[in-house]
């Protein structure tokens, strides 16, 4: 299965992706994790990405697409994957769609975790990731950027017929049950 787990910062994508990975035996590919590793390891990409993220903006499409393309060439993703944090813009979605077509594959599910902004703010500010952009001002910018640049991706996937809205409120287990119900229908 090829799944995109979508939603704003703080929606619980990483948490739910790990549960899906375990339950369905599908590896997760998180662009956020890849960026954080590059920043931690102080690679050239990491330094570039850190400056962008510190300003609350999105990493340029070409950089993200290149990173994901390279990662998906790994053999462990041949039979499927969960994309967490990608695509975030319509150009990224188009590039990913082209990759699927080139490889004779299709996307099985686009799961959008829906959470109100007030709850997202509360979650982000209370989590212990220690990100340099986890301040009230920068979180507000990140949510604005998401709403302006990322939300149009929803329409792209609604037209593809794979869009599924998931209520992202409740306990981790309650949200995961909703996801499992949807994924068991798309198998």
Dihedral pair phi/psi, residue 163, rounded to 5°: -70, 130
Helices and strands (DSSP H and E) totals, the chain: 9, 5
Question: Which of these is catalytic: 2, 50, 88, 178?
Answer: 88
* 142 annotated active-site: yes
* 2 annotated active-site: no
R_g (Cα) of the chain, nearest Å = 16
Question: Which of these is catalytic: 2, 50, 131, 178?
Answer: 131
- The two tokens of residue 67 are 């990173």
Question: Which of these is catalytic: 127, 140, 158, 160?
Answer: 127
- What pairs with residue 5 in β-bridges? 84, 111
130's CB contacts (< 8 A; 6+ apart) are: none
Sequence length of the chain is 187
Question: Which of these is catalytic: 142, 158, 178, 180?
Answer: 142
Question: Which of these is catalytic: 2, 13, 50, 178?
Answer: 13
User: Which DSSP state fits 59?
Assistant: P
User: Which DSSP helix (H) or strand (E) runs through 1?
Assistant: none
Q: Which residues are catalytic?
A: 13, 88, 127, 131, 142
């Amino acid at each position: 299965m090829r799944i995109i787990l979508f939603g704003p910062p703080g929606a619980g994508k990483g948490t739910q992706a790990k549960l899906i990975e375990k339950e369905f035996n599908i590896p997760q590919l998180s662009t956020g994790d890849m960026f954080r590793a590059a920043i931690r390891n102080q690679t050239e990409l990491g330094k570039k990405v850190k400056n962008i993220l510190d300003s609350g903006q999105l990493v340029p499409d070409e950089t993200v697409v290149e990173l994901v393309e390279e990662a998906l060439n790994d053999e462990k993703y041949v039979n499927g994957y969960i994309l967490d944090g990608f695509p975030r813009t319509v150009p990224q979605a188009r590039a990913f769609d082209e990759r699927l077509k080139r490889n004779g594959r299709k996307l099985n599910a686009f799961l959008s975790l829906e959470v109100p902004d007030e709850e997202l703010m509360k979650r982000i500010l209370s989590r212990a990731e220690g990100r340099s952009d986890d301040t009230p001002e920068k979180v507000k910018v990140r949510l604005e950027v998401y709403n302006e640049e990322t939300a149009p991706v929803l329409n792209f996937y609604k037209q593809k017929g794979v869009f599924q809205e998931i209520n992202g409120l409740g306990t981790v287990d309650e949200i995961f049950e909703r996801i499992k119900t949807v994924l068991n229908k798309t198998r």
